Every structure is written in C-alpha cells, then in structure tokens.
Amino acid sequence: MIDVTNLRKKFGDNEALKGISFRVTAGEIYGLLGPNGAGKSTTIGILCGLVKPDAGQARLNGIDIAQRPVDARRVLGVVPQEVALYTEFSARDNLKFFGKLYGLSGADLDARVSRVLERVSLADRAREPIESYSGGMLRRLNIAAGLVHDPKVVLMDEPTVGLDPQTRASILDLVRTIASAGAAVVYTTHYLDEAERLCDRLGIIDHGAILVEGTLQELRETAGAREIIALRGVFRADAVTRELQQHPEYELLKASDAELLLTVQRAEQHLAGILAIAGSLGSVREVAIRQPSLESLFIKMTGRELRE
C-alpha cells in the first residue's frame, strides 16, 4: 500500500533524506520514530504530496505521488498533529466540508459522514458546535476528518499529543480499528510506550537515514539480550564515562548529571561493581534493572532521546 524507495531530499546544504526506503502493507501500523530534525516531517511531507523529492519514488496504493498527485491524494487520509477543524461548525458540518474537498456529495457524502461519526463514537454529539467538545473529542473528530473518504493509506502525526492516558488509550484503540479495516497506517509519536503497544513494525530514522527497522521483537534482538541498569541521582557524568570506558563488559547508553543508563550481561552479578564506580563519582538515589526496551534501543541507535 505504501512503497518508499530511495527517497532523497536536500534543503540547501542540509541533506534531509539520504535515500530512505520502507514499505507498509494493508492492515499494518508502521511506527516512524525519530528525534526532532531526523527527517520524519520531510518524509510525511513527501507522502502528502507537499514536498517534492530530489530522487527516489513514493507510491500510495500503486500510485506514484510525484506523477499523479491528485489521484494519490484520493487514497490518502492525513491526521495532523494540530487540530484542523472549524469550531463554529458542528461535527457533521465539519466532516461534510472535508468530504466535499475529496469530491464527495449527496447521499454518498451523508452516509460516509454518519459512518465515520459512529466509528469515532461521536454520533450522539454530531450536531453540536464543536467549540463545546473536550480535547479528546476534538482529536477523535480530527481523525474522522482524515477518514471520511475511506482512504487506503492513513498518515497520523502524533494524534495523542497532550492527551490524558485514558483518552490516549481510546485513540490507540481507534487506530487499531482503522488498520483492521484494511488501511495501511504510518504513525509518528514521541511516546515510545505507544509505539511498543500499537505498531506492528517500527522504523527509527535519524539524520535522514533509517537506522533500523522491524518488529519490536526484532528491534530488541538488535539491541541484544543485555539487561539495562538505570541509576538516578547526582553524578559527574564526564568522570563516570571515562571510568566506565575502562570496563569493556559495560556498555554506556546515556550519561547525564542526573541519570546513567548502561547494559551488561547478568546485571545482578555486576551491580555491586557498577554502584561502587557511580558512588565514587556521585550519589546514587535509585537503581533499576530492566529488560531491553524500545527506549534503550532508540538511545543506542541515535545517541539521544526521542524528544531531543
């Protein structure tokens, strides 16, 4: 459904994309993860037809976006991070407006609007001005606006940002429903727990290149079966880094004045030695041992946290 092949894009001297490729099939949720400036926005812009690549190809449902942009947009639904709705209109009128932009009209438009309102659980509030809606309701309607024309491909750019956990969970359930109906979904988020729970496959992008791609289990295997030790407290990060470099059995993932993350085989056997090093160069207040996570892999692959 989505085929991206060797996409390249430069803005002046900045090479935003360095030949990225990935594929998303029908019914699949693909998480595209990366820190700010990694190339996510450029990729989404190309898939939306808003940015023209310098080289490479992107197809939606077999349609080349660069050669047939109008046809490509007809099979594409976009859910932007910012809510893009008319607050003085009702939910139904908002959706009718967006449906008309896709060429829908008459009884077909009315039927699609009613169907998508049921899908996002807003049918009972459909005729109210949306200025009275909660944040979660507006997010659901924002998603509905991208689905009213029954797209084959859906791009979702951080649809849960700023929402409470309960509302986030309901949005994730809705995304699963969209995929189960046969759409290919590209999902971006800064919440790694969402990506772990939601996505069938994940791609980590940084500096314009996809560094690693696969299922969560495949990414964990890439990270290795080493356990993670997290130390929190107050540290002299530079000194700790230098000291740990003398111990090749430890792999340091992150060192800051407040937190140390490292991986090691058989963590419990090494914990006393690690605590001795950290304690001699700072103050340890909290210790945790955990299995490899998407967060640790992300830090390992990019050298920074997702929100950096």
Q: What is the pLDDT of residues 146-194, one digit of tens each?
A: 999 999 999 999 888 888 888 888 889 889 999 999 999 999 998 888 9
Please report the pLDDT score of residue 223 as a whole number: 59
- Helix 106-119 with 91-101: angle, nearest 10 deg: 130
Please report the pLDDT score of residue 298 as a whole number: 78
Buried b (16+ CB within 10 A) or exposed e, 11-21: eeeebbbbebe
Greatest mean pLDDT range, 30-34, 252-256, 300-304: 30-34
Please report the pLDDT score of residue 306 as a whole number: 60
Q: Kindly report the average pLDDT of the chain as a whole number.
A: 88
Q: Please state, for a pLDDT cut of 90, what percent of the chain lies above it.
A: 47
Which two three-digit tokens encode residue 174? 């809705």
pLDDT at residue 5 is higher than 60: yes
Which pLDDT band holds residue 292 (cuts at 50, 70, 90)?
A: low
Q: Nearest-CA neighbor of 186 among 202, 167, 172?
A: 202
Q: What would you measure as the largest C-alpha separation in the chain, in angstroms?
A: 74
pLDDT at residue 307 is higher than 60: no
Please report the pLDDT score of residue 271 as a whole number: 85
Which DSSP symbol is given to 124? G
Q: List Cβ neighbours of 228 (8 Å cut-off, separation of 6 or more).
A: 253, 261, 262, 263, 267, 289, 290, 291, 292, 293, 296
Please report the pLDDT score of residue 305 as a whole number: 63
pLDDT at residue 72 is higher than 70: yes
Greatest mean pLDDT range, 57-66, 81-90, 261-270, 278-287: 57-66
Tell me which fold the domain 2-220 belongs to.
Rossmann fold (3.40.50)
Lowest mean pLDDT among 8-17, 53-62, 173-182, 287-296: 287-296
Q: Nearest-CA neighbor of 33 among 201, 225, 226?
A: 201
pLDDT at residue 296 is higher than 60: yes
Alpha carbon distance 106, 179 (integer Å): 27
Which CATH architecture fits 226-291? 2-Layer Sandwich (3.30)
Q: Nearest-CA neighbor of 204 among 303, 291, 56, 292?
A: 303
* CATH 3.30.70.1150 domain locations along the chain: 226-291
Specify the amino acid at residue 7: L
* CATH 3.40.50.300 domain locations along the chain: 2-220
Q: List Cβ neighbours of 210 (8 Å cut-off, separation of 6 or more).
A: 20, 21, 22, 203, 204
Q: List Cβ neighbours of 154 (8 Å cut-off, separation of 6 or more).
A: 76, 77, 78, 79, 146, 147, 178, 183, 184, 185, 186
